[in-house]
Chain A
Amino acid sequence: MRSVRTGKNRKKSGRTTSKMPRIKPEEVREIAGLTRLGLVEAEIERMTHELDGILGYIETVRNLDTAEVEPMTHAVPFDCPMRPDEVGQSLTVDEALQNAPRRRDGYFEVPRIVPGTGEA
Chain B
Amino acid sequence: MAGAPHVEGASIAALATGVAAKTWKARDLVEAYLDRIARLDKKLGCYLLVDGDGARKAADAVDRKIAASETVGPLAGVPIGLKDIFVTRGIETTAGSKILKGFIPPYESTVSARLSAAGAISLGKLNMDEFAMGSSNENSAYHPVHNPWDLERVPGGSSGGSAAAVAASLCAGSLGTDTGGSIRQPASLCGVVGIKPTYGRVSRYGVIAFASSLDHPGPFGRTVEDAAALLEVIAGHDPCDATSIPQGPGRYREASKAGLAGMRVGVPKEYFQTGMDAEVEAAVRAALDELARAGATLVPVSLPHTQYAIATYYLICTAEASSNLARYDGIRYGYRTAEAASLEELYVKTRGEGFGSEPKRRIVLGTYVLRAGYYEAYYGKALRARRLIADDFRAAFSQCDVLVTPTSPTAAFKLGERSADPLQMYLADIYTVAPPLAGVPALSQCCGFTRSGLPIGLQTIGPALGEEAILRVAGAYEARTDWHKRLPQDP
Contact = CB atoms under 8 A, between A and B. Distances in A.
Task: Tell me if chain B binds chain A.
Answer: yes
A66 B243 contact: no
B198 to A, nearest CB: 8
B205 interface: no
B10 interface: no
Contacts, number: 204
Secondary structure at the A interface, as helix, strand, loop or mixed, is loop
Contacts of A59: 311
B386 interface: yes
B382 A61 contact: yes
Interface in A62-118: 62, 64, 66, 69-76, 78, 80-81, 83, 91, 95-96, 98-102, 108, 110-111, 113
Interface stretch (B52-60, B250-258, B373-381): B373-381
Interface stretch (B30-38, B118-126, B361-369): B361-369
A43 B360 CA distance: 10
A85 B346 CA distance: 37
Given A2-B275, A69-B387, A35 B367 contact: yes
Task: Output the residue of A35, A60, A81 with the most chain B CB within 10 A.
Answer: A35
B463 interface: no
Given A5-B275, A37-B364, A78-B243, A91 B106 contact: yes
B455 interface: no
Given A51-B368, A71-B383, A75-B437, A38 B349 contact: yes
Contact of A2 (B273, B312, B377, B385): B273
Interface in B295-317: 305-308, 310-312, 314-315
Task: Output the residue of A23, A50, A91 with the most chain B CB within 10 A.
Answer: A50
A108 B331 CA distance: 7
Interface in A28-75: 28, 31-32, 34-40, 43, 47, 50-51, 53-55, 57-62, 64, 66, 69-75
A26 to B, nearest CB: 12
Nearest to B359: A37
A35 to B, nearest CB: 5
A88 B383 CA distance: 36
Contacts of B86: none
Sort chain A's interface into a size bin.
Answer: 35 or more
B37 to A, nearest CB: 27
A80 B243 CA distance: 8
B113 to A, nearest CB: 14
B439 A37 contact: no
Given A51-B365, A71-B380, A7 B424 contact: yes
Interface string B334-372: 111000111111111101110101001101110110010
Q: Which 8 A-B pairs give the minimum distances between C-beta atoms?
A: A75-B439, A38-B352, A99-B333, A71-B383, A101-B336, A66-B384, A72-B387, A75-B199
Given A1-B430, A47-B364, 11 more contacts: A2-B275, A23-B368, A57-B310, A58-B315, A61-B382, A62-B377, A75-B440, A76-B199, A100-B331, A100-B332, A111-B345
Interface of B: 102-104, 106-107, 198-200, 213-214, 239, 242-243, 245, 270, 273-276, 305-308, 310-312, 314-315, 322, 326, 329-336, 340-349, 351-353, 355, 357, 360-361, 363-365, 367-368, 371, 374, 377-378, 380-388, 390, 409-410, 421-424, 426-428, 430, 436-440, 464
Interface of A: 1-5, 7, 9-10, 21, 23, 27-28, 31-32, 34-40, 43, 47, 50-51, 53-55, 57-62, 64, 66, 69-76, 78, 80-81, 83, 91, 95-96, 98-102, 108, 110-111, 113
